[in-house]
Structure 1
């Protein structure tokens, strides 16, 4: 039997006001392409799209149940922050998470909030030694 997933709260979350990014002191303002590229040096497991409009990470789980549990934890965390990734689960138990922020005038890019969520997602523990999660 698999260990239940725990959702880990980042230290920046303010109790009772998690959807308020001002309370989190996190900006939804889109980063310039150069700033986004520079910020990615601190996130070696995440990939910035060629056009600098999104960042993504793949996760491989040992079982489909582990994959669904991980996705559940991601959606809980995303709901708490009011910011949602694109999530793709493939038959080979590979999950792709893609983060981006909608800006003004139909523009899309990455923001500080995307990096905060990337940190949160990276902290989600899953399973036990029998059901490891591999970040690739």
Structure 2
């Protein structure tokens, strides 16, 4: 996988993945993360995550609803976390392959375009 800009990623649609392909390597993931602001690796390089501190609880819920719409449209679904009523996080990985695929970076770039009411 060659690194792509956020604009290149958002122009794509996630492709169905039912397994049978290798996850991207740690080196590939690190290169691609250089194009996405604020995302970082977790779970020994098998997932990416981004954290925000929002204005209030409802701002977090509104953001998650937007994430859900984008995710559903692409058929690729993140884990959404809210803690302490204002700390929200999105975590992505391709469950079928137990690691990262291009789909994760596509969805991350699309999530970055969503409006969010920050604290």
TM-score range, shorter chain: 0.7 to 0.9
**Size of the alignment, in residue pairs?**
106
Instruction: Kindly report structure 1 stretches of 4+ aligned residues shifted beyond 2 Å.
Output: 10-13
Q: Secondary structure in 1 aligned to 2:34?
A: helix
Matched, 1:109 2:94: no
How far residue 84 of structure 1 moved from its aligned partner, in angstroms, is 0.7
Q: What TM-score, normalized by structure 2, do the two folds share?
A: 0.78
How far residue 66 of structure 1 moved from its aligned partner, in angstroms, is 0.8
1:41–1:93 distance in 2 versus 1, CA, 3 Å = same
Q: What TM-score, normalized by structure 1, do the two folds share?
A: 0.69
> Using the alignment, how far apart are the partners of 1:68 and 1:35 within structure 2?
32
Give the number of the structure whose alpha-carbon radius of gyration is greater.
1
Specify the alignment match of 1:84 in structure 2.
Answer: 77
> Using the alignment, how far apart are the partners of 1:73 and 1:93 within structure 2?
16
After superposition, the C-alpha distances for 1:31-80 in whole angstroms (9 at most, x for unaligned) are 11221122222224001125110000001111111110000000111111
Q: Unaligned stretches of 5+ in structure 1?
A: 1-9, 14-19, 23-27, 127-131
Q: Report which of the two has the higher share of helix.
A: 2
> Using the alignment, how far apart are the partners of 1:114 and 1:35 within structure 2?
13
CA RMSD of aligned residues (A): 2.1
